[in-house]
Structures are given as structure tokens and as C-alpha cells.
Chain A
Amino acid sequence: MGRILVVTSGKGGVGKTTTTANLGMALARLGKTVALMDADFGLRNLDLLLGLENRIVYTALEVLAGECRLEQALVRDKRQPGLALLAAAQNRNKDAINPDQMKLLAEQLAGRFDYVLIDCPAGIESGFRNAIAPAQAAIVVTTPEVAAVRDADRVVGLMEAAGIRNSRLIVNRIRPGLSQVNDMMTVADVREILAIPLLGVVPDDERVIVATNRGEPLVLDKNLSLPGMAFHNIARRLEGEKVEFLDLDAPYNTLLGRLQRALQRKIF
């Protein structure tokens, strides 16, 4: 049986779908078979970020209604044959599906794939409850901002209450330059506040936008960019490898950066 993981955050716009797309692709590149499930009924976007939007014929709802087989609804990625997408219905809302049906689909997928990654919608209402129902573990995505961290803490609490106690943290959109001058919380700050194990750190990068525009996840690049490398490392950590966290401060080891840090050092 494959592992069923939910990618969640509470707050919208912190990078859940980007993370799901890149992790799925990165795990497939490591030779794993991966099924991505979009749980965002009515506001689906995972298909768009993967560049598979033109190939969707059936969604999870047709499978549940018995109008097609699960295999027919899965969109196989041509770039990474190990990767498949089960799309959400776009013309329905979150109540079109219930937690038991999500479990049924995820467990069928787990029988055929090494990983099932569920892209959770923002919020903590029915869409969230649907998405976490089948999950054995969670990947919590946040950014180093107060609103995102507060919402992440809330979903960690809600998942603990639902029996999912092994949540791991991805801190996304880090801007080392800002942390260096003490105007952004550091990864250590966020980790200390949320008190769950760290799975990865991803820098803020314009190339993420370009990749989204094209529907080509960053981890597909031949020469991995820094965020691409970050997602690749997260996939390796999921596989149990010990991989050092990226040193995002490295580009700031300039004379000015060193001077700024010297000023922050404790002298007493």
C-alpha cells in the first residue's frame, strides 16, 4: 500500500498547490509512482500548475458515480509516466463529495501507487475535512508571515484532533535578505512557534511564477533552480534520505551582508 499524504495550510495562497505539483513530480523523478488528488472542488488548479488542464475528461465525481473506471479518470503525465492526476470537479462545490468517498478513492489509489498526495483547499470547512479524511500524515505549508503561521497552527491542531499527529512543516517563500535585517521571521522562528518537525525550506523566487505560467513544475528543469532543488530535497526526505536544508543565506555572504550580521551579533 502506498502512503497517503495531505498537503494543507489553512490560509490560501501560501503555495499548497505549487508544493503538491512539485513534490509529485520530484517523487516521480526519483522513480516512485505518484497519484495527485485535487481536493479543491469548485476551485481546482492543480491541473493548471501541472500543465494537464487540456487532458481532463473525467473527474473524481464520475468515478464515484460509476460513470467511468478510476483508470479512465487518471491523467498520466507524459513527462513523468510515474505521475497521474485525479482531477476535482470544477462545476460543483465542496459538498459534492464527502469524507467517506474521499477515503474510498484515496485507498484505491494507494493500492496502485507508491504515494497519494492530496491537494487540500484553503479553509477549515468541509473541503478541508474531505481532504484530511484519508490522510495518514500531513505536510503543512506556511510562509514566514503572522497570518499564515497562525492558520497553520490551527490546522495542525484540527488534524491532531482528527488523529493525524505526524504533521511536518514546509516553510515557503523565504526571503533571506529580509530575515537578515530582522524584518522577517526566520525558519527557526516559525519552527519554534509551530513546534512540528521541519520537512523543507523553499526560497521566494520569480521562477516559481514563470513555471506556473507555463504549467511546468520547477523540478522538471534540467538545471535545478534553488526552489526546484528545495522541492527535490523534500522529495528525498520523504523517501527517508537525510538531506541537509538549503543554505539560503549563501547569496547574502557579501560584504554588506556580513556587516549587517556582525551588527546583529551579541556582544554581551
Chain B
Amino acid sequence: MLRLMDLINQLFPRSQNSRQDAKRRLQFVLAHDRVDLTPQILEQMRQEIMAVIARYVELDTDSVEFSLESDQRMTALVANVPIRRVRKEPTILDDGGDAPESSPQRDAEALESQPN
């Protein structure tokens, strides 16, 4: 989608229109306001979810994106998790806590952030 104004703005660069800035910033801040999660809890949730995914696939941990988006008063958790490769045998954890020892395929790096 292209508007004449966009073309003109590209030819004669000036500051962008502030209306879209306002909308974009509001949508971001409201997604967080609405769920009322502290950054600490959000980070903890991110780490736990990553740890679970890491049991099945090898992740590109540096390019994982984790965000909250809001639409029609419904907030969604949106995660973009690039996969390096799928593990041949998933490392199954049982809740007893002794599982890591019994799963030799464990990728130490991927599980680094897994909480106890």
C-alpha cells in the first residue's frame, strides 16, 4: 500500500506523521497495561516456555521474539521462535526432577535458562 504522500515524504524527507506513532505506541503500552503482568513475571514465563520448546527443537536463542499484542480488548502473547533443527528424540522431563540425567540428548546450551 502506497500513498502519494509517502512518495513525497521519500523524495523530501521530513519528520514522519505523528498519528501513526501515537497509535503504535498506545497499542504496545495497552497490551501490557491490560494483562497487568510485571516484567519479572513476563521474563520468567518467557524462560519457562523457551525451556519447554528447547526439549523438542534446537532454538536460535538470540533471535527469539516475545511480545504482547492487543486487539478488540483481547490480549495475545505472540512468540516468534526460530528453530535451528528438530531434535531426533525429544528430551522428556518428568516432574520428579531426575529426568535431565536420564536424557543424554539434552542440549546443555538450550536448557541453560531452565529454572529448577
Interface positions of A (Cβ within 8 A of B): 145-146, 149-150, 153-154, 156-157, 179, 181-186, 189, 193, 195-196, 262-268
Contact = CB atoms under 8 A, between A and B. Distances in A.
Contacts of B29: 150
Interface stretch (B2-10, B81-89, B90-98): B2-10
Contacts of A195: 71-73
Interface stretch (B20-28, B47-55, B103-111): B20-28
Interface of B: 1-5, 8, 17-20, 22-23, 25-27, 29-30, 33-34, 71-73
A88 B18 CA distance: 40
A265 B23 CA distance: 19
Given A193-B30, A195-B72, A263 B25 contact: no
A263 B3 contact: yes
Q: Is the interface of B mostly helix, strand, loop or mixed?
A: helix
A267 B5 CA distance: 10
Given A145-B22, A153-B30, A153-B33, 14 more contacts: A150-B33, A153-B34, A154-B33, A156-B73, A179-B19, A182-B17, A182-B20, A183-B17, A185-B22, A189-B19, A189-B23, A193-B26, A267-B2, A268-B1
Contacts, number: 62
A153 B32 CA distance: 12
Given A182-B19, A183-B18, A185-B19, A149 B26 contact: yes
4 tightest Cβ-Cβ pairs between the two chains A and B: A182-B17, A268-B2, A263-B5, A182-B19
B2 A266 contact: yes
A195 B27 CA distance: 12
A153 B25 CA distance: 14
Given A150-B29, A150-B33, A193-B23, A181 B17 contact: yes
Contacts of B25: 146
A156 B34 CA distance: 10
Given A154-B33, A184-B19, A146 B4 contact: no
A262 B4 contact: yes
A266 B7 CA distance: 11
A157 B70 CA distance: 13
Contacts of B19: 179, 182-186, 189
B4 A263 contact: yes
26 contacts: A146-B25, A149-B26, A150-B26, A150-B29, A153-B30, A181-B17, A182-B5, A182-B19, A182-B20, A183-B18, A185-B19, A186-B19, A189-B23, A193-B23, A193-B27, A193-B30, A195-B71, A195-B73, A196-B73, A263-B5, A264-B3, A265-B3, A266-B1, A266-B3, A267-B3, A268-B1
